[in-house]
Amino acid sequence: MVIVSIAFLGIWIPNTLAQSGIPDKPNGYVVDLSNKLSPEEKQNLEQKLRGYADSTSTQLEVVIVPNTGQIDPYDYAMEIGKSWGVGQKGKNNGLVLLITSETRKIRIVTGRGLESVLPDAICKRIINRILKPALKQGDYYGGINAATSEMMQRASGTFQSDGEGDSSEGIPLVFVILLILIVITIIRAIINRGGGSGPGSRGGGMFFPPIFMGGGNDGRGFGGGSGGGFDFGGFGGGDFGGGGAGGDF
């Protein structure tokens, strides 16, 4: 009975998502089921996002729907990213921007490979500083155009900070790193003192944890686009791990 129940849940959950109004996989990067964009605005965004995908392989999908039914907007956006396969397999460099026009929700979800360059705090900043003000004024195109531009620049490492907001968001990380260094140094000093270590004892220098070793880039390769032009080459099978942010407007 338990096995049957688990199997039923495994079938019911995807079906629930499928029946909740999630659109079929589109042939493009802009889905506007709320008709908030003019044909020209939609075309401009489409060409912009396709050109970016061609040149970097990073795929950014914009979805505007009236509501998400009984499904939480975050889960809805995440399901879009996963079921459509936004981003490239292996690189997981997909982004989904979801806006619900009736329930007035905003969600940004990031592929696993972009979580370090577009962390939750930055996604929240984009929502609060760019999307919310524009959407409150009914300027869907202006907000989406500006937000996607910043997301694209950050994903490709070309974003130039305006000096407003970025520095304050980076302070907590600096304090955390300094705190880790201080704690490790104190612990090592206590251990060395307790062991009666003399001038020749081991571990006399400052210890720097592996966090400062260069490390990989989480698979974020942005070369190898699908070529020039604006022919939609399809999504690449990217995966999403839970990064992103949300807000209301």
Sign of the Cα torsion 13, 15, 16, 22 reads positive
Cβ(222)–Cβ(156) under 8 Å? yes
- How distant is the alpha carbon of residue 59 from its chain centre? 11
Cβ(238)–Cβ(88) under 8 Å? yes
The amino acid present at 204, given as its one-letter code, is G
Domain with 134 in it: 30-160+242-248
Q: What is the CA radius of gyration of the chain?
A: 23
70: helix, strand or coil: coil
Instruction: Give residue-wise pLDDT tens across range 99-137.
Output: 999 999 999 999 999 999 999 999 999 999 999 999 999
107: helix, strand or coil: strand
Does residue 125 fall inside a structural domain? yes
Does residue 97 fall inside a structural domain? yes
Does residue 58 fall inside a structural domain? yes
- Angle of helix 39-56 relative to helix 140-156, nearest 10 degrees, comes to 0
d(C-alpha 137, C-alpha 153), whole Å: 25
pTM, two decimal places: 0.66
Does residue 118 fall inside a structural domain? yes
The domain that holds 134 is classified in CATH as 3.10.310.50
Does residue 235 fall inside a structural domain? no
Sign of the Cα torsion 57, 58, 63, 67 reads positive
Instruction: Give residue-wise pLDDT tens across range 28-60.
Output: 999 999 999 999 999 999 999 999 999 999 999
Cβ(63)–Cβ(123) under 8 Å? no
Q: 203: closest CA among 224, 184, 188?
A: 188
Domain count within the chain: 1
Among residues of the chain, what percentage have pLDDT more than 70? 67
Does residue 189 fall inside a structural domain? no
